[in-house]
Chains A and B, each alone.
Chain A
Amino acid sequence: MGAITSRLRRARNRSAALLRALAVVSPIAIAGCRYDSVFTPVGPVGDAERIIILDSVAIMLAIVVPTILATVAVAWWFRASNRRAKRDPNFVYSGRIELVVWSIPALTILFLGGLTWISSHDLDPAKPLKSAVQPLDVQVVAMDWKWLFIYPDQGVATINQLVAPVGTPLRMHLTSATVMNTLFAPEVGSQIYVMNGMNGTMWWQVDRPGSYLGHSNMFSGDGFPGMSFEVKAIPPAQFAAWVGSTRGQGPVLDEAAYRQLLKQSSDLKPYAYGSVTPGLYDDIVRQKLPPGTGPVEAGNKNPFVRPVRSP
């Protein structure tokens, strides 16, 4: 992440003054002042993405604002009732102006294109985060309508709560037990689609302790609004203590429990499994464990006409 940050910093310095000037009027900047947005990132991924958004806005405002002002000014000045305006109805072509009107957007896009190419590679969600700290493996399963987080090395799992040690890269493998979803926490960083029978990779890192909202950004059915989760970032020592106190306690996530979990439900309060059958995630990805069966088995009277969500 350092590379992209430093490369972009020069552009940012140039545009910072303009951005400050516009901050007063820009609704985006108003949002930026608020807590809990993509402008208050708590990790390196979100931070780099915030810089890219701000830079691209600054670059584009430099051409958008003059265009808007010119539109208003030209239309008003050449209004029919203005006697001072010099009319020239034969002004229909000018090679010089053509050159300029093609060059201005082209140059802007050339500049932004460079930013796009570099940042697409640097911020690819699957690209490992550089860190001296050993990454933590987390396996993520989207279900109807809840999130299952499995910690394979710790042998524990959680529902709707991603417990993350602060400052530790999270190497996440993601799949879905049902339809397509995206795992997303606005303050943490990228989102990526999760799909049944497929294994995705995404890296996150949370640097500030706290509790952050996460949810699916991809509509996944009637229970979708009740599919949010909590990113709970705690110091590494506390994380070890949490693992210690969770392991061996509470319910067990084995095949039977997983099949129970496959049934549609939403708005689940976070809880933890003290034990997980090894290889469960791989069985889900390889479809040895079948995907969810949708609303049909949920006790609907006539699901083939108008299924309703089971209570």
Chain B
Amino acid sequence: MKLLGKLDWSAVPFDQPIPLAAGGLVIVVILGVVALIVAKGWLPYVWNEWICSVDHKRIGVMYCTLAMVMLIRGFIDALMMRTQQSVAFQSPGYLPPEHYDQIFSAHGTIMIFFVAMPFVIGLINFVVPLQLGIRDVAFPTLNSVALWLTASGVLLVNMSLVVGEFSRVGWLPYPPLSELTYSPGVGVDYYCWGLQISGIGTLAGGINIVTTILKMRAPGLSYTRMPMFCWTALASNLLIIAAFPVLTATLAMLLLDRYLGFHFFTNTAGGNQMMFMNLIWIWGHPEVYILILPAFGIYSEVVSTFSSKPLFGYRSMIVATMAICIISFLVWLHHFFTMGPGGDVNGFFGIASMVIAVPTGVKIFNWLFTMYGGTVRFSVPMMWSIAFMITFVIGGMTGVMLAIPPADFILHNSLFLVAHFHNVIIPGVLFAAFAGYEYWFPKAFGFTLDERWGKAAFWFWVIGFYLAFTPLYIMGLEGMPRRMQSYDVPQWHMWANIATVGALSILCGILCMVAQLVVSIRTRDQRRDEYGDPWDGRSLEWILPSPPPEFNFAVMPNVTGEEPYWGLKEAAREHQRITRPVPEYEDLEMPRNSPTGFVCAFFAVMMGFALIWHIWWLLIVGFIGAYATLVVFSWRDIRERIIPKEEVARIDLENRAKRNLALQEGRI
């Protein structure tokens, strides 16, 4: 047995300059950031206040940061794919198949698991406890473990850039292509272990949020008074708990095939590849709703706030959310109508898939009626929401087309399909994440983001989206399959070029977002959110100062109806001062920060790397380390730290004073 298992110098792609240069650049940037932190003496702050933090707000911010960094990585992959298809007409292009296939696999994997998921989970983490009027989530340290396990998956997937290779079989590893026979390299192992580790994090996070919402709401905040975002977060995390174990089990079976010679999905010895497709989509279709339901929640908050009206048909929206939550488990087979299951099965699943369009349509109409009679302010979050409503119905329409089995027989796995799911995921999830980012940014950091750069980013994104994906619909109708590294059909070429222009426009959008962040930070003193309610909000997070103190609420709010903060604000406006009496402040107990999550993740990465490269001694070291971390954490003596009531009172009274001033001046 070799000391380093399969690992040797042939793992580094010296023959491929692009991943080598990209990987080198990433390493330089990471080292640069670390060097800066150390040189400036920020290391204790970063370690104590962020890496070890169990504060749900900081964990939420870190999730979102992770997602935004990975969005750039995933987008660079997309840009490379589009440019390759522009130049690879009757030519091999600049990316050989070995590389191109890794890029589209990495693009899909990263965008779903490491952009959409952490963005949505980050916003849930940040917002839900604030909206529920509570001080933290149910299991704060588990929350930190979940974050760092997700980061471990990210690290492993990106490590494959320079050590070995990434999966080349697409974002879902369909066997038998992903089996050892047809993918003997380490790519699929990187994919599987990366997702297994981050999947445990996702599941832990899901359990945490569900427990929080079910058990920890502020007094009086009954289910039918919860903000819509909390409802959708609940639905989404219920889906995580139900669906993610299926993903873990499915990948575990594939790994058993690859590592121990099992035959779950192999061609030979009775393996059944169709079982994999069923299992992966039993996770995979609910996964779509795991992403889109919280996005619907964000849109509900934004549309209501910026129309200065409560959400129209609130109870109807709850019914629609939960209907989607349940039906999402009954449609998985529409991902493989072309497997030939026959008219009855295809018909059933086709109709079940269309039925989901009903509650989704209801939501669109309810947002429409929320705007009706309101006072609509076209701030950046609202613009993302309106662009979503317009664009998403088109994506929904092409989705219903694909749900008709005979139409799917000629559109399946073509670029039409690719265009469809980008048409629902980009406006559905990504625009929502951007809207949520703009909307809650002042709450997290105490100053608003620049509107002009935000609007510029918006227009580049939206125009770029249409330019990039309308051609893909057309190419799909012209019979172009997805995942083509090169092609020689002349009529596809022009559309491929237009799509590249669209991708470049999206690039401008991303650059504008970077500029927006830089400009906003530099001008933050002029854009301070003085008293914590910059958008004239309606739910409880806006009652807090921006950024909220570690303990969120000095006293637990007592909720007496829907939109509790709005009610208080109305009364305060009338009297031009806060009408709530000054409470009796008490000492607060908050969970202590802990390096458990980070240390756990360190050993998880070690184990993942050892498994990928068959370095068995390292695996044992990693396992012992992770286990020891658990033991040390479980035996800790001091679990909480006390925040003295003087500190609580100081923070709360300061915010009350600022709000009273703003009320007198008519700014609230």
Contact = CB atoms under 8 A, between A and B. Distances in A.
Chain A complexes with chain B: yes
A290 B393 CA distance: 48
Given A92-B311, A116-B404, A28 B477 contact: yes
B366 interface: yes
A180 B268 contact: no
Interface residues of A, number: 112
A61 interface: yes
Nearest to B488: A228
A217 B10 contact: no
Contact of B362 (A101, A115, A191): A101
A119 B268 contact: no
Contact of A120 (B10, B406, B474, B489): B406
Contact of B400 (A60, A80, A94, A303): A60
Contact of A64 (B182, B350, B394, B411): B394
B369 A97 contact: yes
Nearest to B484: A225
A305 interface: yes
A105 B184 contact: no
Interface stretch (B117-125, B210-218, B341-349, B629-637): B341-349
Interface stretch (A30-38, A149-157, A251-259): A30-38
Contact of B314 (A87, A92, A222): A92
A306 B13 contact: yes
B406 A52 contact: yes
Given A53-B401, A57-B401, A72-B390, A305 B186 contact: yes
B330 to A, nearest CB: 14
Contact of A195 (B273, B311, B376, B486): B273
Contact of A112 (B268, B313, B346, B400): B400
Nearest to B311: A92
Contacts of A302: 8, 10
A120 B362 CA distance: 27
Given A36-B479, A124-B343, A190-B409, A104 B373 contact: no
Contacts of B361: 63, 101, 104-105, 108
Given A126-B342, A191-B409, A294-B184, A36 B477 contact: no
A239 interface: no
A169 interface: no
Nearest to A218: B413
Contact of B375 (A80, A108, A182, A225): A80
Contact of A117 (B338, B347, B483): B347
Contacts of A79: 376-378
Interface in A77-99: 78-80, 86-89, 91-94, 97-98
B481 A113 contact: no
A125 B340 contact: yes
B336 interface: yes
A89 B373 contact: yes
Contacts of B407: 49, 52-53, 56
B474 A30 contact: yes
B177 A179 contact: yes
Interface in B421-479: 470, 473-474, 477-479
B350 A116 contact: yes
B165 A306 contact: yes
A31 B311 CA distance: 40
B169 interface: yes
A49 B338 CA distance: 14
Contacts, number: 339
Contacts of B470: 27
Contacts of B267: 178, 196-197, 287, 291
Contacts of A52: 404, 406-407
Interface in A200-253: 200-202, 213, 215-225
B479 A121 contact: no
A219 B169 contact: yes
Contacts of B360: 105
Contacts of A88: 373
Nearest to B276: A180
Contacts of B184: 294-296, 303-304, 307
Interface in B295-349: 307-314, 316, 336, 338-340, 342-344, 346-347
Contacts of B376: 75, 78-80
Interface string B388-428: 01100110110011011111011111100000000000000
Contacts of B404: 52-53, 56, 112, 115-116, 119-120
B177 A31 contact: no
B523 interface: no
Contacts of A93: 312-314
A46 B477 CA distance: 12
A196 to B, nearest CB: 4
Contacts of A291: 176, 181, 267-268
B510 interface: no
Interface stretch (B40-48, B197-205, B351-359, B654-662): B351-359
B182 A179 contact: yes
Interface string A298-311: 00011111111100
14 contacts: A31-B474, A38-B477, A75-B371, A89-B308, A91-B373, A92-B313, A102-B362, A106-B358, A113-B354, A127-B343, A202-B340, A222-B101, A294-B183, A305-B186
Shortest Cβ-Cβ A-B pairs, 7 listed: A186-B479, A105-B361, A121-B343, A88-B373, A190-B409, A101-B365, A120-B347
Given A116-B350, A215-B481, 12 more contacts: A57-B401, A74-B372, A79-B376, A104-B361, A124-B342, A124-B343, A202-B340, A217-B481, A221-B169, A291-B267, A307-B185, A309-B96
